[in-house]
Amino acid sequence: MKKKSNLMEYSDGVRPYILEWLNEVFLIEYNDKQYTDNSDETDGIGLTTKELVNATLRIKGSKFSTQQIYENYLVPLINAGYIDRVDNKKRQTLLSLLPRFKCKTKNYSM
């Protein structure tokens, strides 16, 4: 029975530790950036791998290179359709949440 529950856990093809990182690091940074980013709106809202490396170190206390974050966390999430990869005008790759995965928004009302 335990094997059966493990299969259900991986049914979307993403390991639990990656989904945990998505919720605890990516979504927090993504939500924060939505409310604090004053950049050109035509570039869209997104995170760079460098921003995610810094956030992972700050939030989880784990140090990764940009390549490690990309290969170990972002590629599985891109392949599973959780996040999208878009190149912007500044020759950076922005990673953003796909619209079908609504995230909790912060309430900034007074």
Could you give all domains of the chain from N- to C-terminal order, each with its CATH number? 11-97 (1.10.10)
* pLDDT confidence tier of residue 56, bands split at 50, 70 and 90: very high
Lowest mean pLDDT among 1-10, 45-54, 71-80: 1-10
Q: Looking at residue 98, what is its pLDDT?
A: 73
Residues recorded for the chain: 110
pTM across the whole model = 0.72
The answer to whether 54 and 27 have CB atoms below 8 angstroms apart is: no
* pLDDT confidence tier of residue 73, bands split at 50, 70 and 90: very high
Across the chain, mean pLDDT equals 77
List alpha helices for the chain, DSSP H.
2-9, 16-21, 27-36, 49-60, 66-69, 75-79
* pLDDT confidence tier of residue 105, bands split at 50, 70 and 90: very low
Nearest to 47 by CA among 66, 71, 20, 61: 66
- pLDDT, one tens digit per residue, over 2-21 is 554 444 456 578 999 999 99
Q: Which two tokens stand for residue 33?
A: 């950036």
Q: Is the pLDDT of residue 96 over 70?
A: yes
∠91-95-101 over CA atoms, to 5°? 155
Q: Is 25 or 86 the better-scoring residue by pLDDT?
A: 25
Nearest to 22 by CA among 96, 86, 85, 93: 96
